[in-house]
């Protein structure tokens, strides 16, 4: 049995609205585990709660309720000082390489900052040596450390962001759509870089993306989210081949397959995604589900574990 690095239990995040007694249920009672050394992919439509879940996992956002444990330690009870020390082991790569880097600082200043915060007595010569190693590790040249973010391309900026994330040798990194803002040709380079870094630094990734092909290529397990809920979670083989949940079936039917003559039937969902302010009763997916039963409208399904270990939140007895 693999070692559990991160454990999330009954996690909720509700945001207040301008209307009294109404909240946005961004994440609504999710529970999952991330095992050491794996890459857990998180996929779903925009607004399903992927990024919020990632930030809650790192305690960048305070949950409404529920708990997150890292290496068996509950993060909810930690003081600010203790949490700051733990930041060395938990990092994030942001989606937008243009907004995530301080435009007033050079690359050296950006990459030196983690050492200055967490190792205040480290000599400048050692910091410089570490920064040059980081730059080389992510495929940039030594002279790049004197440049400002606006002097780089999007792919180069994201490489700087990756270097910053691994500066303190973390164990766990949340990757919040790290290639979605990049050109397709650059996406492949950054994904390959992240795979190499994962092996070199023995990292565990939580990889958030809406690109189903990247998730299939990059991840070991896949978690499918819809309207703040987990609808299916399991190995990528089980998710992509068996597709037990109707939402997973619809989502994966959108992947173009140019190699196969059998294109497969595209499942088109009718209607709009319900509002997280006023989610439907019962199964959150039932208003758009072609296989909806009466029980789906009344009772919210819990995650059921199938014979192969996949968990599915669906009243249909799919196996």
Q: What local confidence, expressed as pLDDT, does residue 255 receive?
A: 79
Residue in the block written with tokens 């990049």: 182
Q: What local confidence, expressed as pLDDT, does residue 136 receive?
A: 96
Measured N-to-C along each axis, helices 107-118 and 154-166 cross at an angle, to the nearest 10 degrees, of 10
Sheet containing strand 65-70, edge to edge, reads 23-35, 4-16, 65-70, 73-74
The predicted model scores a pTM of 0.92
Q: What local confidence, expressed as pLDDT, does residue 319 receive?
A: 38
User: CA 190 to CA 73: how far, in whole Å?
Assistant: 32
Written as tens digits, the pLDDT of the chain (319 aa) is 579 999 999 999 999 998 888 999 999 999 999 999 999 999 998 889 999 999 999 999 999 999 999 999 999 888 888 999 899 999 999 998 889 999 999 999 999 999 999 999 999 999 999 999 999 999 999 999 999 999 999 999 999 999 999 999 999 999 999 998 888 889 999 999 999 999 999 999 999 998 888 999 999 999 999 999 999 999 999 999 999 999 999 999 887 765 554 456 778 787 778 889 999 999 999 999 988 999 999 999 999 999 999 999 999 854 3
3-state secondary structure of 252: helix
Instruction: Give phi and psi for 56, each to the nearest 5.
Output: -65, -40
**Which string of b and e fits 150-183 if b means at least 16 CB within 10 Å?**
eebebbbbbbbbbbbbbbbebbbbbbbbbbebbe
User: CA 63 to CA 141: how far, in whole Å?
Assistant: 41
Contact 74, 80 (CB under 8 A): no
User: CA 188 to CA 169: how far, in whole Å?
Assistant: 24
Q: What local confidence, expressed as pLDDT, does residue 264 receive?
A: 61
Q: What local confidence, expressed as pLDDT, does residue 229 receive?
A: 96
């Amino acid at each position: 049995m693999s070692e559990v690095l991160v454990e999330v239990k009954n996690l909720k995040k509700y945001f207040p609205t301008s209307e009294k007694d109404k909240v946005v249920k961004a994440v609504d009672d999710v529970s999952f585990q991330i095992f050491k050394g794996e890459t857990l992919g998180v996929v779903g439509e925009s607004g399903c709660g992927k990024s919020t879940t990632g930030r809650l996992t790192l305690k960048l956002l305070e949950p409404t309720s529920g708990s997150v444990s890292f290496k068996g330690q509950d993060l909810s009870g930690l003081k600010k000082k203790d949490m700051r020390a733990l930041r060395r082991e938990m990092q994030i790569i942001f989606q937008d390489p243009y907004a995530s880097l301080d435009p007033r600082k050079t690359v050296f200043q950006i990459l030196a900052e983690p050492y200055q915060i967490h190792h205040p007595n480290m000599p400048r010569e050692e910091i410089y040596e570490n920064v040059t190693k980081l730059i080389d590790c992510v495929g940039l040249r030594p002279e790049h450390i004197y440049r400002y973010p606006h002097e780089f391309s999007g792919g180069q900026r994201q490489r700087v962001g990756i270097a910053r994330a691994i500066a303190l040798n973390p164990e766990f990194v949340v990757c919040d759509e790290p290639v979605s803002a990049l050109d397709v040709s650059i996406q492949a380079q950054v994904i390959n870089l992240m795979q190499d870094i994962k092996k070199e630094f023995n990292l565990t990734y939580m990889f958030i993306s809406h690109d189903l092909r990247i998730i299939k290529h990059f991840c070991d397990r896949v978690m499918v989210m819809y309207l703040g809920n987990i609808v299916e979670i399991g190995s990528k083989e089980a998710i992509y081949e068996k597709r037990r949940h109707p939402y997973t079936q619809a989502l994966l039917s959108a992947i173009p397959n140019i190699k196969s003559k059998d294109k497969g039937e595209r499942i088109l969902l009718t209607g709009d995604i319900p509002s997280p302010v006023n989610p439907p009763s019962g199964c959150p997916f039932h208003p758009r589900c072609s296989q909806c039963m009466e029980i789906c409208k009344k009772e919210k399904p819990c995650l059921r574990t199938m014979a192969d270990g996949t968990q599915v939140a669906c009243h249909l007895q799919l196996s």
